Amino acid sequence: MMTARKPLLFLTLVVSLLGLAPAFAQDARAQVLKPPKGAPVALMVFEDLQCPQCRRVAPILEQASKTYKIPVVRHDFPLPMHNWSYNAAVMARYFDTHSKELGNEYRDYIFSNQLEINPQNLQGYNERFATSHKIQLPFVIDPDGKLALLVNTDRDLGKSISLEHTPTIFIVSTRKAGRPYVEVTDIGQLYKMIDAVMNE
């Protein structure tokens, strides 16, 4: 009798946990998708520097940031099928160590040259960017792996909230009622969605 009950109990437990999975995912997103301190609303994007759609939406997000005077929080989410985006993300983190503004300028520089970049010439683009900003690149960019760890942490953060594609864009807020975030699936609706969040 006990042996017959055990599979049934196990099946009941699995079904119960599956039923809770969406709730866990929502809780995880609510913990992660928050604006930086002092900002009631922000744009948050998980991007891949080799992603064509990320390249297309980056200036739109930047313009929306200026229009609404809200920050853009950029997270690295390099996809495994892209053969140089991870290395570019690590390089962006190197420039972040000089200033966050410089790191973001590098990201935009990579986007503007994305169609010409490949694994063989990426370093040349890195060196040209560094030279134009009077920075001498070290022989080894990330000797102790700390920059790669930052990229991995961002990527793991995205995975923890079940991201699968780039760009994934959210409007995040400090509001207490309802969900504090909304995903932007149609970039053409971005301003309308920001208006809605800011007016709630």
What confidence score (pLDDT) does residue 27 get? 63
28 within some domain: no
pLDDT band for position 177 (cuts 50, 70, 90): low
**Could you tell me the CATH number of the domain that includes residue 140?**
3.40.30.10
125-144 pLDDT, tens per residue? 999 999 999 999 999 999 99
Token pair in block for residue 129: 């960017």
Token pair in block for residue 98: 């000089």
77-127 pLDDT, tens per residue? 999 999 999 999 999 999 999 999 999 999 999 999 999 999 999 999 999
pLDDT of 22 higher than 80: no
Residue bearing tokens 């995205």: 158
**Rounded CA separation 115/99 (Å):** 26
What confidence score (pLDDT) does residue 2 get? 44
Parent domain of 76: 35-199
83 within some domain: yes
pLDDT of 4 higher than 80: no
Element (H, E) at 191: helix 190-199
- Rounded to the nearest 5°, which phi and psi values hold at 62? -65, -40
180 within some domain: yes
Which residues are CB-neighbours of 43 under 8 A, at least 6 positions away?
Answer: 61, 64, 65, 70, 71, 72, 73, 169, 170, 171, 172, 194
pLDDT band for position 26 (cuts 50, 70, 90): low
What is the rounded average pLDDT for all residues in the chain? 89
**Rounded CA separation 16/41 (Å):** 35
What confidence score (pLDDT) does residue 13 get? 43
25 within some domain: no
Overall domain count for the chain: 1
150 within some domain: yes
What's the mean pLDDT in 57-71? 97
177 within some domain: yes
Q: Can you say how many angstroms the Cα of residue 125 is from the centroid of all Cα atoms in its chain?
A: 23
155 within some domain: yes
